[in-house]
Amino acid sequence: MFAIAGPLPESQICLDTASGSKSTDSGHQSPLQPTHSPLGAESAEFDPYTEYALASEGSETTTVTFPSTDDCKNPILTGETEIAASPRLGPSRRFNFSILIPALATSLLSGGVASALLGWLLSRRVVSAGNDAFRNALVADEGRTTNSSNGVLAQVFGSGSGSSDDDVGTTMYGLALSSLATHLISLTVPFLMSGFAYLLASIWIQTQRRGRVGSLPTPTQYGHLVSLCSSISLGSVYDTAKYLSHRRRRPAASTTLLAAFFTTLITLVMVYTLSLSDLWLHTTANTFSYEFTTPIAPSLLPSAGSTVNKTLCSGPSPFLLNGDTYSNCQHFQKSIAGPDMYWGDAALVSEGAAVLGNTSVLSQVQMIGNLATLLPKTLPSGVRNVMFNTFAMEASCAPVTDCQYFVSDPNSMINTTYFLLCPSFTPPFAIQETQGAISMLNQFNATTNVLIFETGTSDFPASSVGPQGDSRVAGYALNSGLNPAGVLAALFYEEGQVDFAVPADQPGWYGVGDAPIFFSFYISRCVLDVWDVTVSYSAPSDGGAPSFTIASPAARSDFNTTSALLGALDSAYSGILATQLTTTLRGSLNVTAETFSAILAGNTTQGILAYAAPLTERTTSIAGEAVHSATVSRYPLAPLGMVLTLTYGYALLVLGVGVVGFCLPSRVLINPSVRDSDDEKPRTIRELGLVHLRLTSAWASIADRFDEERSSAILTSDSTSTLTEGGREERLGAGFVGAPAVQLSGQSQRWNKRKFRVDLVENLEDE
């Protein structure tokens, strides 16, 4: 494969001395012949290393002083020429760490960067099933980290102060890692080819030792091998492909050349495909704003729910002192002697009116579908699905059409009174004393139509609107059926407030007085349901409108809760809400009967619930999610997958080459003339390393060309150590070198043929 040049070994010198030889002429050496080597069965093959001691190529005759026979036992160099001990073959070895360590490091670096990229994106991944931006892409939150212990929470919501990080640009670390992988592979390709050169060297040696001369490279193919292994580039691949394409004008391609060509081609395809994939990823990856949701800690949940305040309303109160019927918890009678009834205090009344007028800072009533629902006035933003328990009411109303007119006894001492009796209730509901009449809400049993609060008697009503009956039996029993509740609404309008004929045109309307009509009443029967509901509340962080939904089926409230929430129907309090309804509905008197009934039902439920709000208190929400709009990164799966696949594939390829090279067997050459300074043992080098050097470095070829007399140049794997100038002043030049004389047909002729090459200056022809 390559010649080992140098002086004769001492053993050969002693052998020649014994046979009478006094000198050697390198120009008349015998050619190499196969010999029997002690290495075993492989010695029968042609092996230049076994007989390398005979391959001394010199251009000059060397005269030496030979030692005596006794001196051959302990050779002593004499004369002016120093004869170095020739290298010899040693045993075969495996496990070359110089191949494994670089390959392992390269594989770990490449695979580590790919794993860092994948791990970073997966650890910051954001998942959403309802957003098209997440389709066929990996979306990650790469926002800056904070000192908060909440991890991703801190990145989504910013610092603990609640400030937003939306104004901070997002660094796409995934793109940085992708670029790092691309550059790292480009930089480590020489390590891959260097490791693969060991495999080529092993193939070359084994092919030669098996005598397959036709599979060995030609000088031209050897040049392509060095070009592919030493400087991997498109140019070397192109030159080799061009050479291989000329099948008719070249010898058969060696196994080593084909392996080097396809490996280099595959490696370059991987490198350039990875670069294009990285470019594709950079051009398609982007950022967008996305709403992250995280569960709110129980300690941070807002107080949005409602429950009855047990301090203000521990249970129903007696309708009359020492009585056995009951009313709302705030109902009271100052003394047994007086018939006057009272409800609550000024603060409760004022707060109820504020809630109804939407001026309260504590509570509000909103319609969620058909349900009037009690809600807190102040609700947080940037939340989603905040669940809390509260109260809701729903009513349906219909006009009462069976009321009848009658006139009291004209001989009575009391002024003429017109009565309007509604016999469908028990006792019959009556309207009398039109002068000074007011609106009124009266509660009744929705199942039996029995009036619950009898506000006066037939002889002397306590109010201008009230049932005929005895107030001593007013109220309801404990744990009686209050839900659903009946509400009898009697709305009073004075002359001029109703501009249509009564009662023929509209059901439920009744006129009282002489023509023209002086007074008008609208009488309606409403059925009211009281519910315990769970509300889900969501509000975007950008100030958008909040939304409310009923999260679970409504359940009827129990007796105590219903009693507390129906405070607006108490006999001492209902006139306030009735008057409010009369004023509110004045602008809707001209609508159809069905529409007016629906409007009345909605306003009645909102009013009753608003007046009950002061008797409730806030409770903590059940659950909820915090929402914040954060800037996230979107990495399309196609280019990202290609980058990861190629990077991992390259790492596995390098690792495979390193492991195979690590296990390659190689004979050892021992150089007795060079000893290590540590243990004074002869220096050894693997045969595989010598061939590898001549595949990957031009230094070895230069040394073989210009330093043929130094055997030490052969036994080193360090490319920069193959040439040892010492104190020589040899200089190279570029020019023509003449061809030697050629003997043709007995005549000495010199061809007029010159070669242009780099050679020693003294060998160049003068021009």
Q: What is the reported pLDDT for 91?
A: 66
Q: What is the reported pLDDT for 708?
A: 57
Q: What is the reported pLDDT for 78?
A: 39
Q: What is the reported pLDDT for 230?
A: 84
Q: What is the reported pLDDT for 334?
A: 78
Predicted confidence band of residue 293 (pLDDT cuts 50, 70, 90): confident
Whether 263 is covered by a domain: the verdict is: yes
Highest mean pLDDT among 83-92, 405-414, 654-663: 654-663
The mean pLDDT of the chain is 76
Taking a C-beta distance cutoff of 8 angstroms, is the pair 399, 510 a contact?
no
54 plus 106 within the same structural domain: no
Mean pLDDT value of segment 595-620: 94
The amino acid that residue 259 corresponds to is A
Whether 580 is covered by a domain: the verdict is: yes
Q: Which residue would you say has higher pLDDT here, 48 or 141?
A: 141
Share of the chain above pLDDT 90, in %: 29
Give, for 243, the enclosing helix (H) or strand (E): helix 234-245
Taking a C-beta distance cutoff of 8 angstroms, is the pair 455, 466 a contact?
yes
Q: What is the reported pLDDT for 679?
A: 59
Distance between CA atoms of residues 145 and 171, nearest Å: 12
Predicted confidence band of residue 97 (pLDDT cuts 50, 70, 90): confident
Which residues pair with residue 556 across a beta bridge?
531
Q: What is the reported pLDDT for 213?
A: 84
339 plus 416 within the same structural domain: yes
Q: What is the reported pLDDT for 733?
A: 80
pTM above 0.75, yes or no: no
Q: What is the reported pLDDT for 60?
A: 37
**Which tokens is 593 given?**
């009967």
Mean pLDDT value of segment 292-309: 90
**Which tokens is 533 given?**
């509901």
Distance between CA atoms of residues 738 and 743, nearest Å: 16
What pLDDT digit, counting tens, does each position of 215-258 carry?
Answer: 888 888 888 988 888 888 889 999 999 999 987 778 888 888 99
Q: What is the reported pLDDT for 360?
A: 92
Mean pLDDT value of segment 360-382: 92
Q: Which domain holds residue 763?
A: 730-767
Whether 487 is covered by a domain: the verdict is: yes
Residue 748's alpha-carbon distances to 27, 741, 752, in angstroms, are: 19, 7, 13
Phi, psi of 699 (to 5 degrees): -60, -40
Mean pLDDT value of segment 609-613: 94
507 plus 643 within the same structural domain: no
34 plus 108 within the same structural domain: no
Is residue 21's pLDDT more than 80?
no
Burial of residue 609 (number of CB atoms within 10 Å: 0-12, 13-18, 19+): buried
Is residue 333's pLDDT more than 90?
no
Q: What is the reported pLDDT for 617?
A: 94
486 plus 589 within the same structural domain: yes
344 plus 459 within the same structural domain: yes
Task: Verify cis geometry, omega within 30 degrees of 0, for the bond prior to 516.
Answer: yes
Whether 449 is covered by a domain: the verdict is: yes
Whether 392 is covered by a domain: the verdict is: yes
Q: What is the reported pLDDT for 518?
A: 64
Minimum mean pLDDT range among 39-48, 75-84, 626-635, 692-701: 39-48
Minimum mean pLDDT range among 112-116, 203-207, 608-612: 203-207
What pLDDT digit, counting tens, does each position of 726-763 carry?
Answer: 556 677 788 777 766 555 555 555 555 677 777 777 77
Whether 313 is covered by a domain: the verdict is: no
Minimum mean pLDDT range among 116-125, 151-160, 506-515: 151-160
Is residue 315's pLDDT more than 80?
yes
Whether 304 is covered by a domain: the verdict is: no
Minimum mean pLDDT range among 180-184, 188-192, 275-279: 188-192
Is residue 535's pLDDT more than 90?
yes
Highest mean pLDDT among 8-22, 167-181, 468-482: 167-181
589 plus 641 within the same structural domain: no
Q: What is the reported pLDDT for 600?
A: 94
Is residue 131's pLDDT more than 90?
no
Distance between CA atoms of residues 198 and 209, nearest Å: 16
Number of domain units in the chain: 4
Whether 418 is covered by a domain: the verdict is: yes
Q: Which residue would you say has higher pLDDT here, 161 or 260?
A: 260
465 plus 527 within the same structural domain: yes
9 plus 109 within the same structural domain: no
Taking a C-beta distance cutoff of 8 angstroms, is the pair 264, 622 a contact?
no
344 plus 244 within the same structural domain: no
279 plus 391 within the same structural domain: no
438 plus 487 within the same structural domain: yes
Q: What is the reported pLDDT for 309?
A: 93
Q: What is the reported pLDDT for 81?
A: 40
Contacts 24+ apart (CB under 8 A), 694-701: 694/2, 694/226, 695/197, 695/200, 695/201, 695/225, 695/226, 695/229, 695/230, 696/193, 696/194, 696/197, 696/226, 696/229, 696/230, 697/230, 697/722, 698/226, 698/230, 699/723, 701/226
What pLDDT digit, counting tens, does each position of 472-509 carry?
Answer: 567 888 888 888 999 999 888 877 666 665 555 678 88
